[in-house]
Chain A
Amino acid sequence: MRASSPERWQQVLANSAYADALRSRDSSINAFLEIDTDRRHSHGDGTSPAAAGPLAALPLAVKDNIAVRGFGLTCGSRILANHISPYDATVVARLVAAGMVPVGKTNLDEFGMGSATEHSIAGPTNNPWDADRVAGGSSGGSAAAVAAGMVPLALGTDTGGSVRQPAAFCGIYGLKPTYGTLSRYGLVAYASSLEVAGLLSRDLAILRAAYEAASGADVMDQTSVSLPDAASRPSDEVRRVAFLGGELGLDQRTAAAYRRMRDVVAATGAAVEDIELVTAEAVVPAYYTIAAAEASANLARFNGVRYGERPVFAENPEALVRQARTEGFGDEVKLRILLGTYVLRSGFQEQYYQRAQRVRTAIRRELASVFARHDLLVLPVYPTAAFRHGEAELTAFQQKLADRFTTLANLAALPALSVPGGVCDGLPVGIQAIGPAFSEARLMRFAELAAAELPPQRPPGYEIELCDEVIPGGRT
């Protein structure tokens, strides 16, 4: 089936049936924590003269750890259950300036910590391909909303794969850009040196336009970076492509899709070479050490005093803070805070945190040497396709080990794009490409090459996107 045209999406907000159709479709998916399409949040209607470009009037879904003025900002956590954002994140403000209209906040693992969008006060999000399976995480709501045809574009965050893995599980594109190119102002911080805002879409043209509109330095974010001039950025040539080789521990679907992608790339005439990384075994340990350490510091701000949930009575200030945190945080968040506090304690810092930072240097150097010889590094996103709800197929610990392909790009601050790699036995499989810093155009060129053979597909039951469902004359 043909992709829905962006023009149809641009008309959908003018149609009063959209809001009900969105709610109706979400009832079996639970992608959204909050839906509001009536633009009462003073975000304009996307029709201002300044917003006449390709993003004008397009509905936008936003992960609920990114601030949108007037919408909730729960981060999927009890401690922020009633928090309303008083301001817009810079990425949201820039997309709104380009004409997009926020229509809802999407489900996530609490504070972005998880791989399944199951650790949330709103309950789990279901995968549109199979409701018994997870949508991935932590941006599972954003990925499911796009895959089920509810919105053309969604914002997520990617600290260790949280945009790319759910995009892979749901069969769409997921871009984790170069660190700092999308401002983090208005993202609720979890692991500041690793996390980025990211974009999810089924449409490459919309993805590209959104990245161009939202990227660039921001005075409100010390860690934002200026994009080099177009002429100084890496070219979009995809001629020498490294594939991660060796024993990768993939399930059958993923192994088949990965082989297929290798054939597709080789057929374009690119030189394909299998490589191995000597730092591979240390990637996830370094990632979780650093992420937990930064989380324990960032989440110290949630104490129930100035905002957020807190007990009605406490004996003293410390008891108030203890009780607010103890009741407000879920298990996975507590685990990472404890782990992070431990690896930062005097006496253990050198063994864990400082070692992890040096291992991070070794990983960066190794990837730099890969990109001295290759245009891109292609590798799986996750060792499995979408797994079943609960921990029957993958325990929480195994889910962390499975971050071994995605966390590389976060540790090295490099851009990575998860692209649809075909549907195997009823489930989509995603394959990712990592490039040197600022090579987003090259990653999108790779996606175009792959899409010629492996175009994104739609989940059964969601073949018709909402813009075509609600607009008279749309395909039925």
Chain B
Amino acid sequence: MDRSEIDLTAELALLDMDSDERDRLERGVLELLEYFAAMNAVDIRGLEPTTHALQEGNRLRPDDPRTDPSIADDILEQAPDLEDRFIAIPNVL
């Protein structure tokens, strides 16, 4: 992994790094990627990938409204800033 790879990866993850942090995180990522090579010793020919080890089919529920009267207010209370009952974000225009 060359230097541009960690920068491109951070770009995709929407993370900024100063140079110290970039060096530290790059070392950490590299250390783990090298260690992941141990997976090459396992014979995986013909094996299907496991995405979930134990899963039933779709779990559906009736499309009924939940009528907790305070939930909307409780959720709005979490917003950093409100204008009436709208969530306001900083002016980014």
- Count the A-B residue pairs with Cβ separation under 8 angstroms: how many? 179
Chain B residues closer than 8 Å to A223, beta-carbon distance:
52, 55
Q: Mark A299-336, 1 if CB is under 8 A from B, else 0.
A: 00001111111111111111111110110010100110
A281 to B1, CA, bound (A): 23
A282 to B55, CA, bound (A): 23
Q: Is the CB of A312 within 8 A of B90?
A: yes
Chain B residues closer than 8 Å to A335, beta-carbon distance:
25, 28-29
Does chain B have a CB within 8 A of A219? yes
User: How far in angstroms is the closest Cβ of chain B from A66?
Assistant: 17
Does chain B have a CB within 8 A of A254? no
A221 to B61, CA, bound (A): 10
Chain A residues closer than 8 Å to B50, beta-carbon distance:
357-358, 360-361, 364, 411
A309 to B80, CA, bound (A): 7
Q: Is the CB of B55 within 8 A of A180?
A: yes
Does chain B have a CB within 8 A of A238? no
Q: Which residue of B lies closest to A396 (CB)?
A: B28
Q: Mark B33-59, 1 if CB is under 8 A from A, else 0.
A: 101111111111001111111111011
Cβ-neighbour of B79 out of A307, A316, A401 (below 8 A)? A307
Tier of interface size on chain A: 35 or more
Q: Is the CB of A358 within 8 A of B25?
A: no
Q: Which residue of B lies closest to A329 (CB)?
A: B15
A313 to B81, CA, bound (A): 13
Q: Is the CB of A357 within 8 A of B49?
A: yes
User: How far in angstroms is the closest Cβ of chain A from B91?
Assistant: 8
Judged by DSSP, the binding face of A is helix
Q: Is the CB of B49 within 8 A of A360?
A: yes
Question: Given A314-B92, A354-B49, A331–B25 Cβ distance below 8 Å?
Answer: yes
Which of the listed residues B24, B37, B41, B54 has the most CB atoms from chain A within 10 Å of its own CB? B54
Which of the listed residues A322, A341, A401 has the most CB atoms from chain B within 10 Å of its own CB? A341
Does chain A have a CB within 8 A of B16? yes
Q: Which residue of B lies closest to A288 (CB)?
A: B32
Q: Is the CB of B59 within 8 A of A413?
A: no
Does chain B have a CB within 8 A of A272? no
A226 to B54, CA, bound (A): 11
Q: B5-30: which have CB < 8 Å to A?
A: 5-6, 9-10, 12-17, 21, 24-25, 28-29
Does chain B have a CB within 8 A of A296? yes
Q: A173-189: which have CB < 8 Å to B?
A: 178-180
Question: Given A314-B92, A334-B25, A222–B59 Cβ distance below 8 Å?
Answer: yes
Q: Which candidate, A81-89, A93-101, A141-149, A240-248, is the interface stretch facing chain B? A: A81-89
Q: Is the CB of A345 within 8 A of B89?
A: no
User: How far in angstroms is the closest Cβ of chain A from B77?
Assistant: 7
Q: Is the CB of A362 within 8 A of B13?
A: no
Does chain A have a CB within 8 A of B67? no
Chain A residues closer than 8 Å to B54, beta-carbon distance:
178-180, 225, 413, 437
> Can you list 7 contacts pairing A with B, beta carbon distance less than 8 Å?
A84-B74, A225-B54, A319-B92, A329-B15, A352-B33, A355-B39, A361-B48
Please give the residue numbers on chain A whose beta carbons come within 8 Å of chain B beta carbons, in ascending order. Answer: 69, 83-84, 86-87, 178-180, 193, 217, 219-226, 279, 281-282, 284-286, 288-289, 292, 296, 303-323, 325-326, 329, 331, 334-335, 337-339, 341-343, 345, 352, 354-362, 364-365, 396-397, 400-401, 411-413, 437
| A-B contacts besides A320-B89, A341-B13, 12 pairs, CB < 8 Å | A285-B37, A306-B78, A306-B87, A310-B80, A322-B15, A326-B16, A356-B39, A357-B50, A359-B44, A361-B48, A396-B28, A411-B50
